[in-house]
Structure formats: C-alpha cells, structure tokens
Amino acid sequence: MTITIKDAQDIQGMRVAGRLTSEVLDYLTPFVQPGVTTNELDKLVHDYIVNVQQAIPAPLNYMGSGNVPYPKSICTSINHQVCHGIPSDRQLKKGDIVNIDVTVIKDGWHGDSSRMFLVGPVSIAARRLCSLTFDAMWHGIKLVRPGIHLGDIGFAIQKFAEGHGFSVVREFCGHGIGRMFHEEPQVLHYGQPGTQDRLVEGMTFTIEPMVNAGKRDIKDGPEKDGWTIVTKDHSLSAQWEHTVLVTRTGYEVLTLSAGTPPAPAFVPPQTLA
C-alpha cells in the first residue's frame, strides 16, 4: 500500500473531520467525573457524533486486523490499560487516569485524536506521566516538515520519554489517515534519525505515543475481548494523539478546537503554508 498525498480539497475535508473529532472531546470533558461509567461516556459520544455532527463514529464495528469487530464508538483505556479499552459498566473513580480515543468520519474523511483525563485528584506520579506523555507527543509533532524522516520523529519521542524514566510501547504506532481509518505510513514512536519514510507536503498521519510508567512490555487484557491491551507489569500507561498534516514549510495540527490543550511552551510558533 502506498502513501496517499492529499490535495487542497482533500485537506479541507480532513480539517473538518479533525475539528469535529476534537469538538467531541471538548463536549465530553465535563462528563468525565467520578461515578460515570465508560458506557455512559460512549453513548454520549455516539449520540453527539450521529445526531449533532451528522457524522459517523469510526471505531463502531471496525474490524482492524483481527476477527472481532470493535463494539463501541470510543476507546476508553483506564490506568494500566494501554489502548483499545472497550467501554463497559465500570465506573470511573477518584484517582483514575483514562485515555479517551475518538475518530469521526465526516463526508468520507477521518479525524483521529485522543486525550488523557484525570478523574478527580490523582497521584503526583500519574499526573507526571500524563503531562510528560503530552510533551512527548509534541516533541514529535514540532519536527514535522518536508524532508525529515519518520525515524526523526520516533527518535525524539523515545529520547524524551526514556530520558524521564518512562518507556515507549513498540507494538502500536501512529498511522496515515484520510479516506481510510488506517493508511500508510506507520508512524513509530521510537527509532533512529534518518530512517523510514521521508515526509512530503500533503501527507496526513497521527502521532500518538503510548508511554508506560514501568517497562514497555504489554499483553492482552484479562477481559480476553480481542481488543484491550494492558501493561505486563501493571504500571500506569498514558497516551495523547493528534492528526497532523505536512505543509509546505512545516505542519498543521488538524485535530484542534476551542478546548484543545495548548502546545507546550517549548513548541515554537508555527507558520502555516
């Protein structure tokens, strides 16, 4: 499969899908409180995407590479769950951290983003993990421009995360995105500078590092549902995700909205072109 390059009309469609995705996370934010179930959050999102945005929740019934369709409209990964946690009747409680991953299809285009949510007061260690994972994502994003390699992005993320005593999950990665949920290229969050595909204007892909407080090893969750992944050592895991466009001179983050957490101070102001 080859990398698809988006033209101006394609990019406008991607901007709309990306903005809607981020607006779903804005809408959901006040509901992420102790006592709410992840099933309740899933229904809120499903109804908002379908009825308000007149769009489609991409995860619902998505097959992926396995044989079990994903049964919900969002992924909710709590504490030591690394990714693809399936919403259930489990209530969130004070001290939990939860990643909520949303993908919206609008007019055939996909937007994909996830955020970490802190449920009530959380431990200093949990807060630090979530904050530094956000920074790790941005250490990758800020490098994006034509001519660099995907390995440069992975190396920057890995170096930053490991430099703070964390580990980067290697079995899952970012991905190209557009008319399809998952396209080429694969975007690893570790690697060596100057390796993998060279970026060109018009590429769109996600950067979504999964960072563990302990070792990087993962395993299937005890639910045996064909989707949920957990840390092998039961340590906390965090993830943030944006969809990014390679522009003529740099990058544009497509999954932005009024409530999107701002880029860290170390990220230089960008000039869109």
| pLDDT (tens digit per residue) in 159-175 | 999 999 999 999 999 99
Cα-Cα-Cα-Cα torsion 39, 42, 47, 52, nearest 10 degrees, comes to 150
- Mean pLDDT across 183-194: 97
Measured between alpha carbons, how far is residue 53 from residues 11, 19, 29, 50, 248 in Å?
19, 11, 17, 6, 30
pLDDT at 236: 98
CB 76 within 8 A of CB 42: yes
- Mean pLDDT across 102-116: 98
CATH match for 8-253 among 3.40.50.2000, 3.90.230.10, 2.120.10.30, 3.90.199.10: 3.90.230.10
Pairing relation of β-strands 109-118 and 81-83? Answer: unpaired
Integer-rounded Cα Rg, in Å, for the chain is 17
CB 212 within 8 A of CB 165: no
Question: Residues 191-207: pLDDT tens digits?
Answer: 999 999 999 999 999 99
CB 95 within 8 A of CB 120: yes
pLDDT at 144: 98
pLDDT at 157: 98
CB 273 within 8 A of CB 250: yes
pLDDT at 65: 78
> C-alpha 109: how far from its chain's center?
17
Question: Residues 65-91: pLDDT tens digits?
Answer: 778 999 999 999 999 999 999 999 999
Residue 1 banded pLDDT, cuts 50, 70, 90:
low
Q: Which residues contact 137 (CB under 8 A, 6 or more apart)?
A: 157, 207, 208, 209, 240, 241, 242
- Mean pLDDT across 118-123: 97
The pair of three-digit structure tokens given for residue 171, joined into one six-digit string: 């079995």
Q: What are phi and psi of 237, to 5 degrees?
A: -135, 145
**How much of the chain exceeds pLDDT 90, in percent?**
96
d(CA 247, CA 263): 18
CB 73 within 8 A of CB 40: no
- Burial class (CB within 10 angstroms; exposed 0-12, middle 13-18, buried 19+) of 231: buried
Tokens 């964390």, residue located: 166
d(CA 127, CA 96): 10
pLDDT at 273: 44
Amino acid in the structure at residue 221: G
Residue 49 banded pLDDT, cuts 50, 70, 90:
very high
Q: Which residues contact 125 (CB under 8 A, 6 or more apart)?
A: 213, 236
pLDDT of 270 > 80? The answer is no
Mean pLDDT of the chain: 96
Domain-wise residue ranges, the chain: 8-253
